[in-house]
Chains A and B, each alone.
Chain A
């Protein structure tokens, strides 16, 4: 048997090299996740020095079954799935389309790549500020456009369904660049000989895309779908920046933040309920886990079928 690091004590070298990474993973990711699971069974406030009591499943019971508030939680859950569906499908489709277009030998394509990717490097606060100005209902650019057509809107401060639709659009705008870059890197790994062979065989553009590009993009498709689904299920920052706590617009990720940090009523005197927020986090985690694993399973089978 081969031992790359030698025999005896030297065999511990790879484990020692892994140690810092494992240490930070436990410290930053696994540890807090486990702590969240434990906190979800307590009445923790998140305040240092505050007593913490074990309350069993009370937080889960309250979240899932207590009064109209639990129905509102299910509405937020449903909204999360709607948000995930639209963001994932549109962002995926647009990212693919843009990647295919700017993968062509076009003039100034590097400028377009930069432009499309630029929103990704802006933080959620900057993204929110840009769109708040763009959608300013008293003479903002979009208000002017609607005015031209003889109509008007309150945009982010108006009908919850419209405000929610705007957040979907902004989420896609903010993250489409990442989807595009992953597709672009996938497209650039496809050998040009395959395209040339397909053309020689008489394939048109659609047939080339369907039979050459699409199958060979499978790893990028899988990566993008997974990232888009998980990212959109966990989204909350844009909801905070653009809408705040508004009835009829919350998704689960934002609801968790608002509950944990006492912003549920928009009041500055709400309670801190991090135990309850932790229970909501675990429910969101289970949702992401179930959907993520199902999608992974389907995608893996598809990859095996196509790539062998």
Chain B
């Protein structure tokens, strides 16, 4: 009797556990295939990266969108920019997101690059994970050039790009410059002199959000641009060997990067989070802040009455070389190909792309607009307007490292002490070139 009971119990336990493991727990109200029916309650899952002014705008926009379409609720997830590609990959693969915010759509592999892996956005499209947006009416609201350069792949549109940004400029504290009789620098020597004046007055020259890693070296991308104004040619030259990181011209760049890291950046900058750096600059703790135009709204939000300006990084002693702003097409919206909420998602992008909403967006985040009807109403817009004719796509948008290249094969100021181990420009230049050459030799 007991044996039979044991047997029955064992079978029931085994079957129930297997059944529990295999049964879907999806009890949501959303349809899992096809389009949601009209007026059916829909939850749109939107993924964005952490950028406080953009997040604040999106929360407000989502609220307005929900009020206009009460059956659609937006569930927005926010991740650190460094984690965006990872989360995008996992959530798209799990079919757990409808709208994703994507970076770097522009940097495709160039024909002269051998054996390189496609960038992640291209891999996502090739895997069939992003929706083809070609022909959607809202695309007409954007510059055709922006859609072509930063949204089109193999003749189809997969992303609407929301704006361009510059990352090669320096914010400066106008009151502090006036109080210390410092003129706005237009050459490298003037920048060095300005920093020495501020340091003598007990004011750290510059800060950056070094805790996130990249803000330290991206701050010096203007220096790279002043030395190599044609950055597409720079990348091709590095691949072909006509430009070397340890040649005479590059050595000037490394020497200046050392001054930037060692003498210009404030002590402790490596501990400041990317989000906190604009606030630190706005608080008057430092005189300058090398960084992207996307920081402007955060500076204004931290200290609305704060007077600041924005200039191209004067990395050259020839003022003519310092007239360029380098940057990129910033974030864009893409849609999961397998979204069960296709109608609602397209409605969401249509609403976002409405010129009035888009204008509010660029006003909030400080992007250089990609809709032709939008205007530069912001302080940062006014500051960058004189340089827009000289806006150039930056190095990082072109660069893909050859397989086998070492980890130092990048023009990063953060290799220098106190952030890295190097304190000799020539030695570092040789190491960087050797790391790059190793990869170039490996893919020959």
Interface residues, chain A, with chain B CB atoms under 8 Å away? 5-6, 9-10, 12-13, 16-17, 19-20, 23-24, 27, 45-51, 62, 66-72, 132, 135-140, 143, 152, 154-161, 244-248, 261-263, 265-273
Q: Could you tell me the distance between the alpha carbons of A272 and B86 in the complex, rounded to whole angstroms?
A: 9
Question: A137-B268, A157-B419, A269-B104 known; A72 and B406 CB under 8 Å?
Answer: yes
Residues of B contacting A72 in the complex (Cβ-Cβ under 8 angstroms): 406-407
Task: Tell me if B82 and A244 are in contact (CB < 8 A).
Answer: yes
Q: Could you tell me the distance between the alpha carbons of A139 and B268 in the complex, rounded to whole angstroms?
A: 9
Q: Could you tell me the distance between the alpha carbons of A91 and B403 in the complex, rounded to whole angstroms?
A: 38
Q: Which of B18, B126, B418 is close to A20, meaning CB atoms less than 8 Å apart?
A: B18
Main SS class of interface, B? helix
Task: Tell me if A69 and B403 are in contact (CB < 8 A).
Answer: yes
Closest to A66 in B: B404
Q: Could you name 25 residue pairs across A and B whose Cβ atoms are closer than 8 Å?
A: A5-B3, A5-B7, A10-B3, A17-B14, A45-B123, A47-B92, A47-B93, A47-B127, A66-B403, A66-B442, A68-B407, A69-B405, A132-B271, A136-B268, A137-B267, A154-B267, A155-B271, A157-B210, A248-B421, A261-B89, A262-B89, A266-B82, A269-B104, A270-B119, A272-B85
CB distance from B283 to the nearest CB of A (A): 12
CB distance from B96 to the nearest CB of A (A): 11
Residues of B contacting A271 in the complex (Cβ-Cβ under 8 angstroms): 117-120, 123
User: How many contacting A-B pairs (Cβ < 8 A)?
Assistant: 189
Q: Could you tell me the distance between the alpha carbons of A27 and B434 in the complex, rounded to whole angstroms?
A: 45
CB distance from A31 to the nearest CB of B (A): 12
Residues of B contacting A154 in the complex (Cβ-Cβ under 8 angstroms): 267-268, 270-271, 418-419
Closest to A50 in B: B127
Task: Tell me if B406 and A69 are in contact (CB < 8 A).
Answer: yes
Question: A24-B21, A267-B104 known; A45 and B127 CB under 8 Å?
Answer: yes
Q: Which of B3, B95, B107, B405 is close to A68, meaning CB atoms less than 8 Å apart?
A: B405
Not counting A16-B14, A48-B127, A68-B434, a sample of 10 additional A-B residue pairs whose C-beta atoms are within 8 angstroms of each other reads A6-B6, A13-B6, A50-B127, A69-B439, A70-B404, A137-B270, A138-B268, A158-B418, A261-B85, A271-B117
| Chain B count of residues within 8 A CB distance of the other chain | 67
Task: Tell me if A272 and B89 are in contact (CB < 8 A).
Answer: yes
Task: Tell me if A10 and B405 are in contact (CB < 8 A).
Answer: no
Task: Tell me if B271 and A135 are in contact (CB < 8 A).
Answer: yes
Question: A23-B17, A67-B405, A72-B407 known; A13 and B10 CB under 8 Å?
Answer: yes
Residues of A contacting B270 in the complex (Cβ-Cβ under 8 angstroms): 137, 154-158
Q: Could you tell me the distance between the alpha carbons of A67 and B421 in the complex, rounded to whole angstroms?
A: 22
With a 10 A CB-CB cut-off, give which of A9, A47, A135 has the most chain B CB atoms.
Answer: A47
Task: Tell me if A23 and B442 are in contact (CB < 8 A).
Answer: no
Task: Tell me if B124 and A47 are in contact (CB < 8 A).
Answer: yes
Which B205-219 residues sit within 8 Å CB-CB of chain A? Answer: 210-214
